[in-house]
Structure 1
Amino acid sequence: MVVKLDSPQPDISLPGGDIPDEDEDRPTTALRFTVGPLGLSEIVFGAAALSTIYNKDEHISSFTPVRTVRLALRYGVNAFDTSAYYGESEIVLGTALKALEPDFPRSSYKLVRTTQPRFPRLSDTTSFTLLSTRLDDQMRPLRHPRADFDYSPATLRASVQRSLKRLNTTYLDAVYLHDTEFVATQVGPHEDGHPTDALKPENLEKYGLADGQESKVWGEGDQLILDGLAELQKMKDEGIVKAIGITGYPLPTLLRLALLVLHTAPYKPLDVLLSYSQLTLQNSAFADFAPHLLERARVGQLLTASPLNMGLLTPTPPKWHPAPTELKDAVKKVAEACSGWDGGLVNVAVGYGYRKAAELDVPMVAGLSYPREVHESMHAWRDLKGSQEKRIAQEDKAFEIFDGYLGWSWASPPDNLL
C-alpha cells in the first residue's frame, strides 16, 4: 500500500558485499531503438513489481531487484515507470539506480511516475509480467470514490518532492495525473461496450468530442484536472518535471481531456498519455484512438500497458476481472485454440501487444521482477522482428472466437463509484 505523505518512509538498502554478476546477468541481444519525442525504449520497465505488492519481503531485501534493473539497462531499456501507489517501488528502484550509478548515470535513463491521490489504492494500470501469469491475480484494483482523489497543487507538489528523494534524483522525466476518469466530469454514456463507437460521426457530440466542444469544461471534475495540470506545468517550468500528462482506461474520456487541455489557454498539448488493456488481442481500440490523440489532440507521446488485459488473456483469468461471463468463456475457447502454440495464449497475446505497439511507435510498459523475466521479455520482443505469418493466422482464430466481444471494454469508474 501507499505510505502517506506525512508518514515515516521505509528503510530499504542492499545487502552487504558486491552485487553478483553472473551469466544470467548478461544480455543476449539489445533494444536498439527509442520511440517518440521522449526518447523512450520500446519496452518500459514497470517497477510496480519491485514491491511487496507482488513479491515477498525477502525478494525486496535481496540483490534480485538491483540485478533485474541492471540487466534491463544492459539490454537497452532506458525508462522506468513507478508510483507511490506501488508500495516500496520508488524506494527499491531508487536504491538500485543509486547503486548502479557508476555504470548507468542519471542521464542514461528516464523516470516516469504517476501522481498520488489523497488515499492509497493498488494501481492496475501500468504493470504486468510478460510470459507469466503469476502477478495478474494480484492486480485487483482497490477502488475509492472520486472524492478520494486529490489533485490539489499542494498534494501534487508534495508527492513529486517525495518521489525525487526516494528516487535519488533532481528531476522526473514525466509525471501523469493518474486514473483521470475518477475525477473528470462524466460525459456521454457510462456503460460497457465498444469504445470506438464514440468515434462515429453521429456519436461525437454525445461524448463531447464534436468540433466546437473541445474547450468546454463540463463540470467541477474537469476543472480539477486542469488545475492539477497547471501545477504540474509550474513544476515543468521549474525543471523538476520534464513532461506532463494523464493516464486512464476509457479512451473517449482520455481523448476529450486531451482536447480540453489543448484548447484551454494557457495550457499546452499534453506531453504524454497512457492507457492500458486496450491494445490487446481482445481489444485493440487504442490503435483506433491513436491517430486522434496524436493529430487532433496533439499529444506528444503515447504509451500502453497490459497486453494480457489484467490477466484476462490467460488460461485462468482472475475471478475479480470485470469481463462478463460470456467473454471469460470465450477466453477459455481461445486458450484451447492456442494450446498447440509454443507458450500458449499468453505468448500469443503478448506477441500481439508488442507487435501492435511497435506498429504505432508506442512503448509498452512491462512489469519485471526477476532477471529471467527480463530475458523472456527481450526474447519475445526480438522474435517479433521476424516473419509473423503463422502468428497472425493464430491471432485471426482468436478474433473469430471473440466475435461480438472483440474490441469490448468495461465501464470505468464502476457504477457504484460515480
Structure 2
Amino acid sequence: MASTPTEQPSSTQTFPSRQKPIPYSEDGGKRTPLSSILPPLIFGTATFNTQFNDDPFALDTVGLVTSALTHGIRAFDTSPYYGPSEQLLGDALATPFVRETFPRASYMVLTKVGRVKGDEFDYSAGWVRQSVQRSLERLHTEYLDMVYCHDVEFVSAPEVLEAVTALRELRDEGKIRYVGICGYPLDVLGDMVEMVLRETGEPLDAVQSYAHFNLQNQTLDGPRGIERFRAAGVDVVTNASCLGMGLLRREGVPVGGMGDWHPAPRELRLAVHEASNFCDSHGERIEIIAIRWALETWITKGVLCGSRGDPASGLPWKHESNSEVGGTRLGVNVIGVSHATELDKTMLVWRSILDGLEGGEQTAVQAGRWYRAWEWSRNRKKAVQILAEGVEEILGPWFGHSWDSPNKGFVNKRKKDPNVVHREPSSLLTPAASPESKPIEGGESVEKGIPLR
C-alpha cells in the first residue's frame, strides 16, 4: 500500500521548499487565459481504476503523485467516473508533505461531470452542481481549475448546453475556473463546440480529445480536429491517450478487474500486433515509440491550441519555465501511468523531448547536462519518426480507424422520461456513487462499463 514519502535532501539544495503559485487572476469576470498557464504535460489518473488495474488501492498512488510533483508536473486530470480515482488523487494531494511543499495554488486539478456509469449520463444542472460539490470534497479542495463535460457524444446538444451553463454559473461563484468538454468522436466534439459558441456567444476554454493523435490515429491534427476547434474559439486542446487506451502495447490491450473492455476490433488488434513485431525487429517496443512520437509530435502540432504554461522539467527538484524552452506555445498532452518505473521512463522521454526544442542545446548546457543532449534528442526524433512511418504502413487500412462511440443502439438508462414528472433539483436523491471506493473482492469489479482513457 502507499506510504507518505519523506523529503529528499536535494529538495532543500536545488529547489524551494514551497513551490510558487501558478499565476492565475480574475478581475471583473476577466480570467487569466488558460493557454497562458496550463502545463503542457498533465498527469491523467484514469489508471487509478479497475479498467487498467485489478486493484487500484494496491497502487502506490501517493508515491506516484508525489514523484510527479517533484519532477515538475503541475496538473492532474481525473473524473468521478474513474472509480476511486478522485479519492485516491485527493488523498495523495492531501498528505502533509504535499501540502507543505506544494501549496494548492502551485498545481491544477481537472475533473469531469456528467458520466455516472457506463450506461448512465446526467447533464442536468442539478446533477452538475452535486457532482462538482462531491469532487471538491473528494479532492480536498475549495476550487477546481477546470471541469469537462464527460463524453458528450452520449447525450444531446441541449443537454450539453445545460451542463455548460451550470458549470459557468459555478465558475462565476468561484468554485471552478475553466469549462471544457471531452469525448471520442471528433465530429461530435466539433458540433458541440460550435453549438456552445453559437448559443452562448462565449467559446469553451478547452476540449480534450483522446485516442485521436497517436501512431494509429492522427485525425486530431487536421480540419476535423484542432483546426475546427480553434475556429470555434477553443483556447486549449489537450491530447489524451497516446497509447490508444492501451491498444499500442506489445502485451496488447490492458485487462484489469473489468476484463477485456477495449472497443478495438480483432482485425485492428492483429494489425497492431504485427506492428509491434516490426518494432521488436528494430530493437524497440511499440509503446516506447508510441509515447515518444505522440508527446514529441503533438508538442509542436498542437501549438494552434497549445499553452505557454511552464513544462515539467522531467528532473527531480528542477523547475523549468516556458521561456527556457523557447517561450512559445506547446501542445498539451495527458499521460497515464500506474507504476513508478513507468513514470520514471516517461519523465526521461519528456526531458529528452524538451532538450530537442529550439534553444535546447543552450538549456542543457546551462543546466549542467550533457552538451550533446540536444543533438541526441534530434537524432532520436528522426529514428522514432522512421519507425512511426513503418507502423503506419503495416496498419494499412486500420490507420486512422475510429471505433463507434457510443455503440449502435446505446440507450442512456438515466435519461429523463418526458412522461414522468421529475422532482426539482433541490429534492434530488443523493448522487449515485461511482464504483465503490473500496478494494475489489474476489477479483471482480463492481461495474463493467464502457472504456475509460
- TM-score after normalising by structure 1: 0.73
8 Å Cα contact 1:279/1:356 also seen in 2: no
8 Å Cα contact 2:190/2:229 also seen in 1: no
| Structure 2 counterparts to residues 202-281 of structure 1, below 5 A | 221-265=156-200, 267-281=201-215
Q: Which digits, 9 at most, give the CA deviation of each residue in 1:144-169, with x for residues without a partner? A: 1xxx2111111110010111111111
| Structure 2 counterparts to residues 307-318 of structure 1, below 5 A | 307-318=242-253
Instruction: Please state whether the residue corresponding to 1:83 is helix, strand or coil.
Output: coil
8 Å Cα contact 2:154/2:406 also seen in 1: yes
Aligned partner of 2:338 in structure 1 is: 369
Distance 1:303 1:102, change over 3 A: same
Aligned partner of 2:371 in structure 1 is: none
Read off the aligned partner of 1:106 and give its amino acid letter: R
Say if 2:235 is the partner of 1:300.
yes
State the shift of 1:369 in Å: 2.8
Q: Which digits, 9 at most, give the CA deviation of each residue in 1:290-320, with x for residues without a partner? A: 4423431110111111111122212343365
Distance 1:272 1:240, change over 3 A: same
State the shift of 1:235 in Å: 0.5
Read off the aligned partner of 2:169 and give its amino acid letter: K
State the shift of 1:120 in Å: 2.3
Selected match of 1:398 from 391, 412, 424:
391
8 Å Cα contact 1:315/1:345 also seen in 2: yes
CA–CA distance in 2 between the matches of 1:280 and 1:61? 29
Say if 2:117 is the partner of 1:150.
no
CA–CA distance in 2 between the matches of 1:312 and 1:61? 23
CA–CA distance in 2 between the matches of 1:367 and 1:290? 22
| Structure 2 counterparts to residues 13-412 of structure 1, below 5 A | 19-21=5-7, 37=35, 39-51=37-49, 54-55=52-53, 60=57, 64-99=60-95, 100-117=98-115, 119-121=116-118, 144=119, 148-183=120-155, 221-265=156-200, 267-288=201-222, 289-318=224-253, 320-359=261-300, 360=302, 361-384=330-353, 385=356, 386-387=377-378, 388-412=381-405
Aligned partner of 2:422 in structure 1 is: none
% identical equivalent positions: 34
8 Å Cα contact 1:45/1:77 also seen in 2: yes
Mind listing any 5+ residue stretches in structure 1 that lack a counterpart?
1-12, 122-143, 184-220
Q: Which digits, 9 at most, give the CA deviation of each residue in 1:163-219, with x for residues without a partner? A: 111111111010011110000xxxxxxxxxxxxxxxxxxxxxxxxxxxxxxxxxxxx
State the shift of 1:379 in Å: 0.9
Mind listing any 5+ residue stretches in structure 2 that lack a counterpart?
16-21, 24-32, 254-259, 303-329, 357-376, 412-453
CA–CA distance in 1 between the matches of 2:210 and 2:126? 28
Read off the aligned partner of 1:268 and give its amino acid letter: E
Distance 1:333 1:69, change over 3 A: same
CA–CA distance in 1 between the matches of 2:341 and 2:8? 13
- TM-score after normalising by structure 2: 0.68
8 Å Cα contact 2:214/2:294 also seen in 1: yes
CA–CA distance in 2 between the matches of 1:248 and 1:346? 23
Q: Which digits, 9 at most, give the CA deviation of each residue in 1:40-77, with x for residues without a partner? A: 222211123334554466x7378x32221111111111
Distance 1:369 1:322, change over 3 A: closer
State the shift of 1:14 in Å: 7.3
CA–CA distance in 2 between the matches of 1:25 and 1:412? 46
